[in-house]
Every structure is written in C-alpha cells, then in structure tokens.
Structure 1
Amino acid sequence: MRPANVITSIADIIAGIAIAGFLVPDIWNQEIITHIILLSISTACLYAGGIVFNDVFDVEQDKTNRPERVIPSGRLSLKAARSLGMILFAFGITAAFFVSNTSGYLAITIMLLALLYDKYSKHHVAFGPLNMGLCRGFNLILGMSINLQLDSKYYLIGILPVLFISAITLTAQKETKGKNKLAIAFAMLLDTLIVVGFIVMQQYYDLSIRKALIFLIFWYGINTVAKLRAILNNNPKLIQKAVKLGVLSLIPLNASYTAGFSSVSMALLLLCFLPVSLFLSKKFPVT
C-alpha cells in the first residue's frame, strides 16, 4: 500500500482545503473538523486501493522485474490482494459520501481513474502520465469539495498536480532499464510550468506568492537536482531516486499551496509530513 505515498495524498487534501478557504482554525467547528478527517481517510484508502490494484494487474511483469513485491514473492495471494483493494476503495468512497454527494462522486472518479491507469493507460507513453496526473488533480479537488460554495474557477488549480504527476510518471518510464533522458528533460519543462502556474495564480486568485515562495523554491530545487542527476547519469538507480523524491516532494508542493492560500504556519505544519514520509520510505517501497 506504500504508506509513504499515502501521506502525500493526505497532503493533497490539506492543500485543497486551504485553497477552499477552510484551513483557518478560527472558523473550525465540529462539522468542519469531522469533514477534514473523513476526506483524509477517503484519500488514504483510495490511494492505497489504487496501489494494491497496481500490483494485482502487474503481477506477471513483477515476477520478472520486481520479484520482491508481496504478491510475486508469495507473501500474499492474488485473491487476498483483490479483496483488500476492493475494501479500501469501499471505505474511501463511503467516507467521502459522509462529507457530501460531491465528495463521494469525486471519490468514485478517482477510483475509476486509478483502475484505468493500473489496468490500461500506464502502458501508454502519453496517456499514462496524463491519467496518473488526473488522479492527483481530482484528489486536490476532493480536498476543495469541503466547501460546496467554492467558485468553480478554483478547480482549474487541479491542472498543476496533473502537470507534476505527469512529469513524475514520465521520469518513471523505463526506470528499471534507463535510457529515458528525453522523457526526464520534458518532465523538467513541466515542473517549470508549475512555477509559472503559481505566478498566474497570484494574478487571478487570492494566492500570496510571497508566502508560497520559499516552499516553492524548495520543491523546485530538489526536483531539478534529482532530475539533472538522472539525465547526466541515466541509470536505473538514479532514475528511481528521482521518481522517489518527486513523489515525496508533493508535500512541499502542497505546502506551497497552503502557504499561498492559508498561512505560512499551516504550511510549516503540513511540511512536518515530509520527515514522516521520508521515514516510511525507508521501510516501504515508494516506486
């Protein structure tokens, strides 16, 4: 289920709540706090369910490329894995519907996108990265759904995680073989477009680029360095490290949204997820 990655999906929700204007403790009541918890549970289950089915559908390839994974190694049966994935999806969707019908339908959309990626699109050079990006984009919007009166223009912000996750997925292509310099270079271009996106958000949304800047620089810096190393020495180990850092760096990216739309103090609290995720990444696989 990749616990380190699940932490990053919860960070998406927190960022979405900040964009929706609800990451302000002064306005919190029991209902808002309950909804924050339910959306966090929902995204954790949806992400974990998607990862489980990723391994279910990849079992034949993993026997050759990733024999250490839990299913090909024989530690878990294929039937048990399928059951676990379905239970996780059911919990994720149910928790979202307890928030609102909108949240529930978004959760169903995320589940369908995850299954589409796991089964089909991950093998497509262009649609695979886009599909995976859409999973994260809708996950950010799932966080925004805490505010049903939110102006629909804010949903366009979901394009930014689509770009970044597309960049990570491009980097991950052929990660077990290497020889993907062009894909990584294009991924770096997508990262730069996200920085441009923040500048644009300052003009058209109530985002403070001044507050978000330090978090944005941190996020952009670690991704750029990791991807440059993977280009200069295009071997599987450095590519996988760039992918791992890319996934975990979703936390500082989400902290950038949080600082810009809420406060620096809330962004710093969110950034505390990073050492937790890093610790879990040493105990469990990320890619």
Structure 2
Amino acid sequence: MQLIRPSNVLTAISDVLAGLAIACLFVQQALPSWDVILNIVVSSMLLYTGGIVYNDVFDAKLDKIERPERPIPSGRIDISSAAIFGAVAFIIACWLAYQVNMTCFYMALAIVLMCLVYNGKAKHHFVLGPITMGMCRGLNLLLGFAVIPDSLSYWYLAFVPLIYIASVTNISRGEVYGNNKTAMQVSLGLYLLVVATLCYFAWQSGHTYAFLFIAGFVAMIARPLFKALKTLAPMDIRQAVKFGVLALILMNASWIALSGFWALALAVCCILPVSIVLAKKFAVT
C-alpha cells in the first residue's frame, strides 16, 4: 500500500470517467454499459499503479538519500519484486482495455510507454519532466475517450490535464529542499489557465451547475499553494503538491458535470474523502 500510494490511484478513476463523459457529450451518446465502465476504470487504476511502482523502482538510489523511509530503499520490498509487480499491473491493465476495444488497448499501451519514458528518462529533466508526466494524465483522459473512438477528434482536450499535472509536477521540484518560488508562480499561472478553460466549457455547455464543482476545485488548490508561496517551506510545498494531486478528482468531476452527468459527478466527488483519508496514512508524493 505504501508503494502504490492508494490515494493517488483513486484519482485515476476520475480521469477516465471524465474522458468518457466528455466523449458522450460531444458525440451525443449515453454512457456505455456498466461492465465496459468497470473494465476501463480498473484498467486506468492498474496503469497508474504500474506507473507509480516504477517511479520508485527507477528512483531507488535517489530515495536512499532523499527518502530512505520509502519501501524499496528501506529494504522492506525487494526492487526486483516491485518491478515484477508493476509489470503485472501494466499487463492486466492492457488486457482489460483490450476487452473494451482495440482503440482502448492502443491507448493503454501508449500510457505504459509514457510512464516508462517519464520514470526512466524524462523525470529529472527541467522541461520534459513536467510535460511527460502531464502526458500520462492526458492519455488517461483519452483512455476514456477511446471507449467511443469517434470522440477522439476532440483529443486536444487532453492538453488540460497535461497542463495541470505539469503544473503540479513543477511545484513538486521544491518539496525536498524548498525555495522554488519562481516554479510555483509559473504553476499558478497555468492553474488559472486550466480554471478558465473549465469555466469556458461549463458556460458553453449550458450546464451551469458545473460551476459549483469548479469552485470546489479552485478552493482546494488555492489555499495550500498560496501558503507555500508565502513560506517556501518544504512541508508546505509538499502539501501544495498533495492537494494538487487530490484536487484532480474535483477537476474531473467538473468535466463530468459540464458534460451533463451531474449524478456521476457527485459519485466521483465521493472518491475525494476516501483519498484524503488514505493520504493521511500513505504518502502522496
């Protein structure tokens, strides 16, 4: 449980459901059957699980210095066992996506590839790191789109989670040593861009109740970020990252609400308190 960061894994549910809801909005189609939804949700969770496990596998040496309490550097989990566990998660995730359709299967493979590129090469690059991490989330949104392949003509909406997660990743650069004010100011600007995009689509869709969800999203990310900007303390920066990750649930609930599925949006919001409880017991970053 410490290895996979369960509170983070739950956020993947909201990603794929948001993608599916947006797809249904644009192609004017009802939600698919529950067995299809279950397959794609579990696939998304396992893809995230595999990605987060390989994060620790590739960072084992660095974590011995910066985070010796993590499962692998502390010796509680063998690195080869962790690698096998992550690979199995990826394989099952791709198989479940294949059960939906080939487009979902190809999208799942793309997510696996991007996870490995991020963890193995791009993570510590100043520019490519945040962008690649954002692409993982953007592809997860498109995994929901892929359930209805015709909706993939609206693929450009994946830039929204890409920008948002790139912003959160950018903030996380200072969570060990602090003092990354410029990075946080850049992320604040990108946050505002994401919020403006959500507001635009909520207004265009006519489902104005989505603004309630957007307001909740803004409230969750704003307070910890402004506190971190004020103190520049590693602990406050870590809190800004933590709530930035968890707030994905509300961002995705906003997408679902503006797509017209208010009941599903409320159901997704119910994931948030569970994630918050888990985040108190298990690391988010």
Q: TM-score range by the shorter chain?
A: over 0.9
**Is 1:239–2:237 an aligned residue pair?**
yes
Q: Aligned AA for 1:256?
A: S
Task: Map Cα deviations across residues 236-285 of structure 1 (whole Å, 9 max, x no partner).
Answer: 10000000000000000011001100232221111000011111111211
Query: 2:269 & 2:31 partners in 1: Cα distance?
Result: 21
Q: Aligned AA for 1:12?
A: D
Q: Residue 274 of structure 1 aligns to a residue in which SS? A: helix
Aligned residue number for residue 195 of structure 1: 195
Q: Number of aligned pairs?
A: 279
- Relative distance call for 1:267 and 1:190 in structure 2 (3 A) is same
Gaps of at least 5 residues in structure 1 are none
Shift of 1:51: 0.6
1:179 and 1:234 in contact (8 A); partners too = yes
Aligned residue number for residue 42 of structure 1: 43
Task: Map Cα deviations across residues 46-84 of structure 1 (whole Å, 9 max, x no partner).
Answer: 100011111001000101111111011111111101110
1:223 and 1:242 in contact (8 A); partners too = yes
Aligned residue number for residue 221 of structure 1: 219
- Relative distance call for 1:144 and 1:198 in structure 2 (3 A) is same
Aligned residue number for residue 168 of structure 1: 168
Q: Aligned AA for 1:13?
A: V
In the superposition, the TM-score normalised over structure 1's length comes to 0.93
Query: 2:81 & 2:206 partners in 1: Cα distance?
Result: 47
- Relative distance call for 1:212 and 1:202 in structure 2 (3 A) is closer
In the superposition, the TM-score normalised over structure 2's length comes to 0.94
Aligned residue number for residue 259 of structure 2: 261
Query: 1:266 & 1:230 partners in 2: Cα distance?
Result: 33
Match of 1:18 among 12, 16, 21: 21
Shift of 1:202: 4.9
**Is 1:60–2:61 an aligned residue pair?**
yes
Shift of 1:215: 0.9
Query: 1:151 & 1:67 partners in 2: Cα distance?
Result: 43
Match of 1:3 among 3, 6, 9: 6
1:41 and 1:92 in contact (8 A); partners too = yes
1:133 and 1:165 in contact (8 A); partners too = yes
Shift of 1:27: 4.7
Query: 2:268 & 2:281 partners in 1: Cα distance?
Result: 21
Shift of 1:199: 3.8
Q: Aligned AA for 2:222?
A: T
Shift of 1:151: 5.6
Task: Map Cα deviations across residues 166-201 of structure 1 (whole Å, 9 max, x no partner).
Answer: 110011012100010110111010010012212443
Query: 1:124 & 1:162 partners in 2: Cα distance?
Result: 16
Shift of 1:220: 1.4
Shift of 1:286: 0.5
1:199 and 1:209 in contact (8 A); partners too = no
> Among the aligned pairs, what percent are the same residue?
37
**Is 1:159–2:155 an aligned residue pair?**
no
